Chain A
Amino acid sequence: MKTYFLNFWQGLFTILIGMKVTFKHLFVPAVTIQYPTVKPQMPERERNRLYVNMDDCIGCDQCARACPVNCIEIETVKSLPEEDLGKTSNGKKKVLWVTKFDIDFAKCCYCQLCVFPCPTDCIYMTDVYEFSEFSRDNLLYDFATLLPEERIQKKKNFEEMQAKKEAEKAEAAKKTAEAKAAAQKPQEEKPKDNSKENKEENK
């Protein structure tokens, strides 16, 4: 009988205690935030989506080599001697056209290892973390600033220059050969030995 009344009293009393707790919480400011409009404060050294500032990129390929999952792909083309690509913000001269700078964020593991080797600090982590896509292909980010035609143009320029150089070289080689031949003609003391030596050298 005693426990019966004790139960009744305790039931009543503990409900009141619980109600007191919930009533207090009615006036506690909310701990949640309105997410898409209000964003939480990210930690100081957050690691999120990479960004490449192509104005500063010299195309040195060090980030791609540092990447443990090979998600960065860089292709560069040498510039023509008469072209001026300008300087990076810390004074390095740019000499390469970056025709391809792809980062595949589907592969990226956000380890930040690519950020440290960069000599011009042009690749860094941003605070963007909302970039989900419906298709995995959309996660392949192209950072190169050149237009597709320009890229082809630059490659072609380089090839042309190369061809020109080759041609010049060949011409120069021809000229030197001719000059040599012209020089060799007067001294016909040991033509056979000379030719033999030449062959050996060639080998």
Chain B
Amino acid sequence: MMYDWLYNLTGSDILSMFVVSLLPLFLFILPFALLAVLAERKVSAHMQDRLGPMRVGYHGILQTVADIIKLLQKEDVVPSATDKTLFNFAPLLVFMGSYAAFAAIPFSGFFIGSKIDLGIIFIVGVTGLVVAGILMAGWASNNKYSLLGAMRSAAQIISYEIPTLLIILTVIMLTGTLSLYDLSEMQTQYFWNWMILGGPAVGLQKILLIPLMILGCLIIYTSTLAEVNRTPFDIPEAESELVSGYHTEYSGMKFAMFFLAEYANMFAVSAIVAVLFFGGYQSPFGYLGNTLNLPWLIPIEQFFWFTAKGLFFVFVQMWLRWTLPRFRVDQLMAFCWKYLIPFSFVILLLVGLISLM
């Protein structure tokens, strides 16, 4: 583990804790957000037969860096009619919520911010801060569009939390652990051990589990997509109807915080899907480090596989965004309550019966 290694190296408890807690932010979230914003613009552009940003750097590689510099220079406008404390605190809260989730995400077997036994529950719980932050931002902005966006967001996240949790519960029931590390370790070696293909179960049980797990994976992917307010579930930010929803009144770095939180959340959610169903940081075909007898290579390979899986799901999110139009509010609720929740209940029940076998 990273913490132990640093502790042995420096002998300082605080320093190693500090480094371990800051690593995901500086080594992962910030570069990822920079890359993801650019990727989003490039992917959307190419899907619409455009070129996207081309001016800053080669094919616009430095576009987001330029954007960040612009946002840093911008005046931080606080409208006079807002509730100042809440208005200033909301972006921090939103960012805290999505940053804290990274504490329990297993980037590799060697590096987990905090190897807690309640990993998945911690992530689900701490992501709830984002709802509070969004609601706070919408309320404090004192703007009807912001408030509407925030209300929609809260309603949507609370509804879609149910199918997410039911599917997580299914997986937990099958594996018997809440720790993301243990979950990943269970799906080790080859890709047929991944939860989407029935996990470590064998025989008839595995065959029966596969269709249920695929369906469960689809359900958790859609419902987490709704939780991070991405198209087709982006009614809280709906540019065309609500201007920008809860971050209409924000400018400069506070707006950047919301943006950063959104992209961090996108990755966190993809990471959860990857850990629960696609083996987390495990390689699909065994490790090069094992065959070459280089044990130090394994954590690097694990990190590579984890980010690859995460980025793939982020790409699918972008892909879906430019494929599907936005839901209406009633369609959104109908989709959740009439389709996702019954299906996830049935999956929960069937998986329970199968695991009794």
Contacts and interface: CB of A to CB of B under 8 A. Distances in A.
Contacts of B339: 7-8, 11
In the A-B complex, the 8 residue pairs with the closest CB atoms: A18-B323, A30-B51, A22-B323, A31-B49, A22-B47, A32-B50, A26-B46, A25-B47
B51 A26 contact: no
B51 A34 contact: yes
Interface of A: 7-8, 11-12, 15, 18-19, 21-23, 25-32, 34
Interface of B: 43, 45-51, 54, 218, 319-320, 322-324, 339, 343
Tell me which of A11, A12, A26, A29 has the highest count of chain B C-beta atoms within 10 A of its own C-beta.
A26
A28 B49 contact: yes
Given A8-B339, A12-B218, A26-B43, A32 B49 contact: yes
Contacts of A28: 49
Interface of A is mostly: helix
Contact of B46 (A12, A15, A21, A25): A25
10 contacts: A8-B339, A12-B218, A19-B319, A21-B323, A23-B319, A30-B45, A30-B46, A31-B49, A31-B50, A32-B49
Contacts, number: 41
B49 A22 contact: no
A15 B339 CA distance: 15
B47 A26 contact: yes
B218 A19 contact: no
A34 B54 contact: yes
A28 B48 CA distance: 9
A64 to B, nearest CB: 44
Contacts of B47: 22, 25-26
Given A8-B339, A22-B319, A34-B54, A15 B49 contact: no
Given A18-B323, A30-B45, 5 more contacts: A8-B343, A15-B320, A22-B47, A25-B46, A30-B46
B49 A19 contact: no
